[in-house]
């Protein structure tokens, strides 16, 4: 999963969506079983939710294992040693989960016998043990996922109460608990993000905003579910369905449906393996760490190099404190550092070219910074490169012909061509959160202008042809 998807807890991968759904099914079914048992139900009453729960647990573990095996990380691989065999790994996880189920049952019966405190403790311990089915070693990630899964369980309990008792105090209590658990889940995930992404450039304010959006989205979904269910209860739709054979038949189909879901995950990953012959998609770090990058420059060019001086200059001038931010709210200097990092990692470049890559937006964006200033501070060659890649204020670059002439002029200088190509590569790498209209425009521009530009540069500058061919591969995958 990409870094952005991880922060937002959002993925478009079918396998990820499936295994997360299975996990929620498993935990929600267990929570619901605990409620039924504590409320006086017997083993027969929890047969349906336990079918959900156990099948969900098995399907989740299989789906997660298949997904991680395909990606090459996260779970033990099948091998000669007994303790690293995949089968033992999965069975061990499921045994821990079933131990949690046993504690939940004991807790439910303890509450019915009058030992309320002991029962609650046993149920909580059982849920904690069952949560260990989740394949993550991070505490805050466990707390977040457990809270979200428990929220799914309390939503189901609230739906039962809404059907059975209407909108009474206990129903409202479970509704409120559902929303509190959702809020707790996003709070825990915020702390997980802060710890996992410490030292990166996403601000705390931005992380909080993302979490608030996620909570609002999930809360609204739950409220809509309650509203639709309430209407169905009032109109008698729920009662008419429960009173027919359809209800029993639906319950009996649950294991089949979950098994089909697991088969779906297998087929999905099988299709992925077929595609393994295709070239791996190129990715470039859109947010390199400035301190690490400075050490790299010092090691490569020395402490007094132009590139180190340029890095210090853009960090000092183009930061959020001075009003220079990207659309994500990050310090703007992240972009020029990323451009320079692409060149430093994938091309044979000199100190002046890297310095120019770091300063490439300064003439356009910094008041008082012109070619003369750059020549005085960073030398004539750096000034030439930056001036070539800088757009002129009196020209309309939304006109395709103007952009073509602009790129043709840049193409006359090998270093300027390198800087502009890396600039475009970074811009394309950070299009994830931009509007579809802007993505479409950028894609068309890449196809019409930048691919021909890179093709021509590869022919004209054979010493850097490998880098331009790399850029061509990247541009081509972006317009697929």
Which of 255, 277, 299 is the C-terminal boundary of a domain? 277
| Secondary structure (DSSP) of 225-252 | HHHHHHHHHHTTHHHHHHTSHHHHHHHH
> Alpha-carbon distance 468 to 342, whole Å?
12
| Stronger pLDDT, 262 or 431, i.e. the higher one | 431
> Alpha-carbon distance 97 to 87, whole Å?
15
| Secondary structure (DSSP) of 348-417 | ---HHHHHHHHHTTHHHHSTT--HHHHHHHH-HHHHHHHHHHSPPTTS-TTSHHHHHHHHHHHTTSHHHH
Counting Cα atoms < 13 Å in the Cβ hemisphere of 315 gives 16
Please state the rounded mean pLDDT for residues 64-85.
53
> Alpha-carbon distance 361 to 422, whole Å?
13
**Segment holding 155, helix H or strand E:** helix 139-164
| Stronger pLDDT, 376 or 52, i.e. the higher one | 376
Tens-place pLDDT, residues 162-215: 988 888 999 999 999 999 999 999 999 888 877 765 545 456 777 788 889 889
Tens-place pLDDT, residues 4-21: 556 666 655 666 777 778
In a shared domain, residues 474 and 441: yes
**Most trustworthy range by pLDDT among 188-202, 263-277, 329-343:** 329-343
Please tell me the total count of domains within the chain: 2
Residue pointed to by tokens 């410490």: 198
In a shared domain, residues 370 and 405: yes
Burial of 394 (0-12, 13-18, 19+ CB in 10 A): exposed
Residue 225 lies in a domain: yes
CATH number (domain holding residue 303) = 1.10.3210.10
In a shared domain, residues 22 and 49: yes
Query: Cβ distance 19 to 35 under 8 Å?
Result: no
3-state secondary structure 160-174: HHHHHCCCCHHHHHH
Identify which of 443, 453, 458 has the alpha carbon closest to the alpha carbon of residue 420. 453
User: Is this model's pTM higher than 0.75 or not?
Assistant: no
Query: Cβ distance 434 to 327 under 8 Å?
Result: yes
Query: Cβ distance 107 to 36 under 8 Å?
Result: no
In a shared domain, residues 220 and 343: no
| Domain boundaries, position 225 | 3-277
Which of 277, 309, 344 is the C-terminal boundary of a domain? 277
In a shared domain, residues 257 and 143: yes
Query: What's the confidence (pLDDT) of residue 78?
Result: 44
**Most trustworthy range by pLDDT among 11-15, 107-111, 373-377, 436-440:** 373-377
Query: What's the confidence (pLDDT) of residue 10?
Result: 60
User: How many Å is the maximal CA-CA distance in the chain?
Assistant: 87
Query: What's the confidence (pLDDT) of residue 86?
Result: 58
pLDDT of 410 > 80? The answer is yes
In a shared domain, residues 145 and 180: yes
Counting Cα atoms < 13 Å in the Cβ hemisphere of 39 gives 12
Residue 284 lies in a domain: no
In a shared domain, residues 196 and 168: yes
pLDDT of 254 > 90? The answer is no
Identify which of 331, 290, 328, 329 has the alpha carbon closest to the alpha carbon of residue 312. 290
Residue 43 lies in a domain: yes
Which DSSP state fits 276? G
Residue 285 lies in a domain: no
């Amino acid at each position: 999963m990409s870094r952005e998807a991880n922060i937002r807890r959002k993925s478009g991968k079918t396998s990820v969506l499936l295994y997360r759904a299975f996990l929620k099914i498993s935990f929600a079914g267990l929570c619901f079983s605990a409620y039924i048992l504590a409320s006086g139900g017997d083993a027969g009453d929890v047969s349906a939710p336990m079918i959900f729960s156990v099948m969900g647990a098995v399907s989740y573990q299989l789906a997660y294992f298949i997904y991680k095996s395909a990606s090459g990380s996260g779970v033990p691989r099948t091998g000669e040693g007994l303790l690293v065999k995949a089968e033992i790994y999965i069975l061990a996880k499921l045994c821990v989960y079933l131990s949690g189920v046993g504690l939940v049952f004991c807790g439910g019966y303890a509450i019915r016998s009058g030992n309320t405190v002991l029962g609650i403790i046993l149920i909580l311990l059982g849920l904690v043990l069952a949560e260990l089915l989740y394949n993550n070693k991070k505490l805050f990630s466990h707390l977040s996922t457990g809270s979200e899964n428990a929220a799914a369980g309390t939503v189901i309990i609230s739906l039962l109460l809404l059907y059975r008792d209407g909108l009474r105090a206990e129903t409202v209590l479970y509704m409120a608990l559902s929303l509190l658990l959702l809020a707790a889940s996003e709070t825990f995930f915020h702390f997980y993000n802060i710890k996992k992404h410490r030292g990166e450039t996403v601000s705390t304010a931005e992380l909080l905003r993302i979490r608030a959006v996620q909570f609002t989205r999930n809360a609204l979904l739950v409220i809509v579910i309650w509203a639709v269910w309430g209407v169905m209860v009032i109109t008698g739709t729920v009662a008419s369905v429960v009173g027919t054979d359809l209800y029993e038949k639906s319950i009996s189909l649950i294991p089949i449906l979950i098994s089909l879901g697991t088969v779906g995950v297998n087929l999905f990953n099988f299709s992925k393996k077929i595609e393994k012959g295709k070239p791996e998609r190129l990715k470039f770090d859109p947010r390199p760490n400035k301190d690490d990058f400075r050490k790299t420059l010092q090691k490569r060019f020395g402490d007094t190099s132009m590139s180190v001086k340029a890095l210090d200059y853009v960090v000092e001038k183009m930061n959020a404190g001075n009003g220079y931010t990207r659309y994500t709210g990050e310090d703007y200097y992240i972009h020029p550092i990323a451009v320079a990092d692409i060149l430093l990692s994938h091309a044979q470049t000199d100190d002046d070219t890297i310095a120019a890559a770091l300063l490439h937006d300064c003439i356009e964006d910094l008041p008082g910074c012109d070619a003369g200033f750059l020549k005085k501070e960073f030398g004539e060659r750096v000034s030439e490169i930056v001036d070539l890649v800088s757009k002129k204020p009196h020209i309309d670059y939304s006109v395709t012909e103007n952009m073509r002439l602009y790129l043709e002029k840049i193409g006359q200088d090998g270093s300027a061509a390198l800087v502009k190509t890396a600039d475009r590569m970074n811009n394309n790498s950070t299009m994830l959160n931009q509007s579809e209209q802007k993505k479409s425009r950028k894609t068309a521009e890449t196809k019409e202008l930048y691919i021909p530009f890179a093709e021509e540069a590869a022919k004209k500058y054979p010493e850097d042809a490998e880098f331009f061919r790399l850029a061509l591969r990247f541009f081509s995958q972006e317009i697929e």
